[in-house]
Amino acid sequence: MVMKEFLKYKEEIVRLRRDFHMHPELGFEEERTSKNVEKYLREIGIKTKRIAKTGVIGDINNGSSSTIALRADMDALPIQEENNVPYKSRIPGKMHACGHDAHTAMLLVSSKILYHRELPVNIRLIFQPAEEGLNGAARMVEEGALEGVDKIIGMHVWADLPSKVIAISPGPIMASVDRFKIVIEGKGGHGAAPHQAQDPIVCASSIIQSLQTIVSRNVAPLESAVVTVGKIQGGTAFNIIPEIVEMEGTVRTFSEEIHSLVESRIKDIVKNQSMALGCRGEVIYEKMNYATVNDETLAGIGWKVASQITEVVEQKKTMGGEDFSEYARIIPGLFAYLGVRNEEKGIVYPHHNPRFDVDEDALPYGTAFEVLMVEKLAELEK
């Protein structure tokens, strides 16, 4: 049985994961986490380097001309944990509600196993800060995390999948993430005399309605896109027409063509609707993450490797985003998913929920996949 070797590491993976879980740190604040990662790797014999403020890379140099990278993210979220467990977060208002504590623990143990394998390939260990909305991956790339690396593997625990199941699919699997802010400037006045004002609230309402036609009337029905306005602010009293209304939202797409179309239509709608209603509109558009696209060859290899370990299923596309895309757009990458849902144990809450947790029985399967994936790629490099 392939898993027999890896199941003996469960206690160590769980111990590491629980320690990280009790001490969550937000993006680019992962000082304790990074120090513990460095300490663990150095005690094994792996040289480490700190980059991107709190990021850590470790290198297992086996004298090869090829290098394979494994990546884990380390940051937590600004959420107050509601779980009643012994390893509950000890930091008020901060919680590992997306499983990055598990990612870090799995990769640390994978690193130890791989160090002693002496494979005919070099291995780059990437412990990344600030995945949650701060695009720590881009900063890691800027500071050299991928220098000399040929392929990269990432793994995410997944609350929608049954425990121990691995999901893999080729091609686009997670959407690009954009953020926009719309500022509508009108002319303030009395609510009883709207004819003397230029109402930015009415203008904003019209714009929001029109934005919803972008996907329904501009994007082909077989394509995927999302335009969501998640925040709107304007006004100070019930009888005052304000000067300014501000809105913020997000755009999610898979293809560059649709991505450009949606951005262009948002800007056109804001400009034209504002002008028509006597206001002035401005769009501040920020591209945050690219779409995450799995290399087809690596996905095929990953499926075969995972099949030796556990049940494997196709991963459904999600409009959520992941900055692993920063690596996978430069070199071939594979982003796999590990099921951690266990209804019998009550582990059923989604990511970013204050009661999110993982079935720790699944974690050795993640380590097994990382190790065996590197072994298989090393074998193919011969």
Active centre residues (catalytic):
290, 360
SS3 sequence, the chain?
A: CCCHHHHCCHHHHHHHHHHHHHCCCCCCCCHHHHHHHHHHHHHHCCEEEEECCCEEEEEECCCCCCEEEEEEECCCECCCCCCCCCCCCCCCCCECCCCHHHHHHHHHHHHHHHHCCCCCCEEEEEEECCCCCCCHHHHHHHCCCCCCCCEEEEEEEEEEEECCCEECCCEEEECEEEEEEEEEECECEECCCHHHCECHHHHHHHHHHHHHHHHHHHCCCCCCEEEEEEEEEECCCCCEECCEEEEEEEEEECCHHHHHHHHHHHHHHHHHHHHHCCCEEEEEEEEEECCEEECHHHHHHHHHHHHCCCCEECCCCECCCCCCHHHHCCCCEEEEEEEEEEHHHCECCCCCCCCCCCCHHHHHHHHHHHHHHHHHHHHHHC
Please state, in angstroms and rounded to a whole number, the distance separating the CA atoms of residues 196 and 362: 65
